[in-house]
A and B are shown apart, each in its own frame.
Chain A
Amino acid sequence: MKRIITATVQNRSGVLNRITGLLQKRQFNIESISVGRTEVDGVSKITFVVDVEDNQKLEQVTKQLNKQIDVLKVSDITDKAIVARELALIKIVSNSQLRAEIQGIIEPFRATVIDVSKDTLSVQVTGKPEKVEALIELLRPYGIKELARTGVTAFQRGQQPQVAQENTSFSLLH
């Protein structure tokens, strides 16, 4: 099952290496990872998408991450109300006759053309990973020359819905 986990970390040298090394050593499969600075000086946030077998494995991922000296906070936000976004740059084969047709395809995705050459066209799209995926599939028939994705970055919405019984805890206590 895919989970979105965020880790707030201290911006010390080697921290990303330590964390990705930990995940590799413990055989946790990282699907995507994105890192950037936060509003606090010296603090960065890492967003992972990991594929884990079960809740027990998931608990291990978060515990092992939490154990790291530089890690301030780890949250599995998959089941929360969140905003999750990914940026993709897609370079496709194109020519002057196709441009309008492609424009028509990307418009509903609120993607934009950011570069045009004689025989290529580059598109920028931002959104949920599924949306990015959908656009890539639509553009694939034209011939994708180059594709770059940032991986998902995410955080919780400002307001969380009040659910009477939220089943998001993975405590082994049951």
Chain B
Amino acid sequence: MAKMTMKQEEQVNATNKTPKTGADLLVESLIDAGVDTLFGYPGGAVLPIFDALYRAKGSFNQILARHEQGSIHAAEGYARVSGKPGVVIATSGPGATNLVTGIADAMMDSLPMVVFTGQVNQGVIGTDAFQEADIMGITTPITKYNYQVRSIKDLPRIVKEAFHIASTGRPGPVVVDIPKDLAANPCEDHYETDFYLPGYQPTIKPNPMQVKKLGEALKVAKKPLILTGAGISTAKASEEIKAFVEQHQIPVVSTLLGLGAFPGEHPLFLGMAGMHGTYAANKAIYESDLLINIGARFDDRLTGNLDHFAPAAIIAHIDIDPAEIGKNITTHIPIVADAKLALTQMLTQIKTSPDYDEWLDHVQENKKDYPLWYNKPESEMIGQWVIEQVYKTTEGNAIVTTDVGQHQMWSAQYYKFSQPNRWVTSGGLGTMGFGFPAAIGAQLAAPKDTVVAIVGDGGFQMTLQELSILQERGLPVKIIIVNNSALGMVRQWQESFYEKRYSESIFAIQPDFVKLAEAYEIKGVKIDTQKELAEKLPALIAYDGPVLIDCRVLQQENVYPMIAPGKGIHEMIGVKP
């Protein structure tokens, strides 16, 4: 109880007048774990828990989303920006299954998260009882670990273990399933919370021999390249990576999720690599003779056709998860470690390297000769230009969340992130509907920062019911809909690879988003031209409250450059106008 504030202690003491229940024990365990923000949605099987939360009112900032999917994406945004585990409570059956997308998303993008699901009474588990779902079976393949509490004496220990597992090593989601009777029944005052997980001892310190090997490889390399992944942001190693890069003058490319780990405006930064990455970044990977991957997992959207990915390079891979090393790409120098510890060791152990001037000149030339491009129409807007305006207006200081699709790729291309954990996007799972609720979580984690949710008209319509929260909780999120009345990325692929058969990708009817915003009592603005946006955006971003900006952009604009499916990283199309 050491971490409890006076106020919290008073509240818990107040609950002690009635016999303590399993639910009270859970509330205490959450306070012990340092939880201050809860994303919850009540229902039958978690009524005892919500009643205990009511009794402990004031202990947590409790956020009621309007759909469990909103809760969990908000928790993901919160986790990404705060670095703390996102905590979600949902009821059994449909409540729990509504979380599945977010759990899988957190697993793919290694976000720390602890999810509590209600379960039917122990006596009827396995009988297809009302609102029963086998959430253990459902979430086993998409969690780092999961528990069903079978005895109340295990609950405090399990909660402690769950937070430990979720937030250490390679972070990930942990599910704790709690039967209703267990939460409702009286229990003892105190249970043992000590735990020992002999099978879970993540390696966080690098092996000095492997670091030495990396140093030797750098000495003979002529074309070294660093690939930065989200593992650097998670490990809070941005200072170290910058120091290492500047010390040795090695060019840097980033994964989608790694953006911001290394400053986007740095002269040694060549941009994002992969399917919609820059030509300079992809070409550098193709030509490199030593590729140092730090905290990325060689996702197929990054690598393209594996046969052509860094074909001439010695591959060094630094990752906290040993199973990622050698999974997709044969690795020559494996370093299992936390990115911060690995980089710290590299800084002290690798002092010298030859100069790579010729290589640097070459990659800089590519960067200069093949910049990202788009043709700007006369007066109408297109997505790329909208993102550039947002970047300029926020001076690159906003926290940006997105859904998946064209607007996401344009955000990755045209918003230059200079700090870690300010880019919140669904990378691995590519979840539509993620961006807006994630922005709510991000704003809760960083109340003073400007949070911009850049969403598509498709994805936004999947979770827009969470507009309720903005006014309710006074969250000044700025929503920018890159609205092309289509599922833009689907439409692009149908244009390019399905002979323009636009099967179900064009919306015949769009809601009036401005009226919708007004229905939720927030400011809404529809913008049709460049002139309007340029004029209004600064005031809208500076506005003291939530704003929805419906930017009507041209439908036929595509994301370029691109590596077509099955093609190699050196075969980008749309590199030049």
Contact = CB atoms under 8 A, between A and B. Distances in A.
From B140, B197, B323, B326, residue with most partner A Cβ within 10 Å: B323
B217 to A, nearest CB: 12
A169 to B, nearest CB: 13
Interface in A111-163: none
B140 A63 contact: no
Contacts of B200: 69
Contact of A172 (B145, B146, B148, B334): B334
Interface string A13-26: 11001100110010
A67 B145 contact: no
A59 B141 CA distance: 20
A29 interface: no
B199 A14 contact: no
Contacts of B150: 13
A68 B136 contact: no
A3 B576 CA distance: 51
A67 B198 CA distance: 12
Contacts of B326: 56, 59-60, 63, 172
A173 B140 contact: no
Contact of A63 (B136, B144, B323): B323
Contacts of A22: 141
B165 interface: yes
A68 B141 contact: no
Interface in A20-70: 21-22, 25, 56, 59-60, 63-64, 66-70
A126 B293 CA distance: 50
A59 B331 CA distance: 12
A21 B165 CA distance: 20
A82 interface: no
A22 B148 CA distance: 19
Nearest to B210: A173
A71 interface: yes
Contact of B199 (A21, A25, A64, A69): A69
A102 interface: no
Given A14-B140, A17-B137, A71 B323 contact: no
Contacts of B140: 14, 17-18, 21
A21 B146 CA distance: 14
B501 to A, nearest CB: 32
A67 B141 contact: no
B323 A60 contact: yes
Contacts of B199: 9-10, 68-72
A172 B321 contact: no
Contacts of A25: 141
Contacts of B144: 69
A72 B201 CA distance: 10
Interface in B273-323: 321-323
A117 B554 CA distance: 82
Contacts of A64: 323
B66 interface: no
B332 interface: yes
Given A18-B140, A67-B322, A69-B144, A172 B331 contact: yes
Nearest to A72: B199
Given A14-B140, A72-B199, A66 B323 contact: yes
Given A56-B326, A69-B199, A173-B333, 19 more contacts: A13-B150, A14-B136, A14-B146, A17-B140, A21-B141, A59-B326, A60-B326, A60-B327, A63-B323, A63-B326, A63-B327, A66-B323, A67-B323, A69-B197, A72-B198, A172-B332, A172-B334, A173-B332, A173-B334
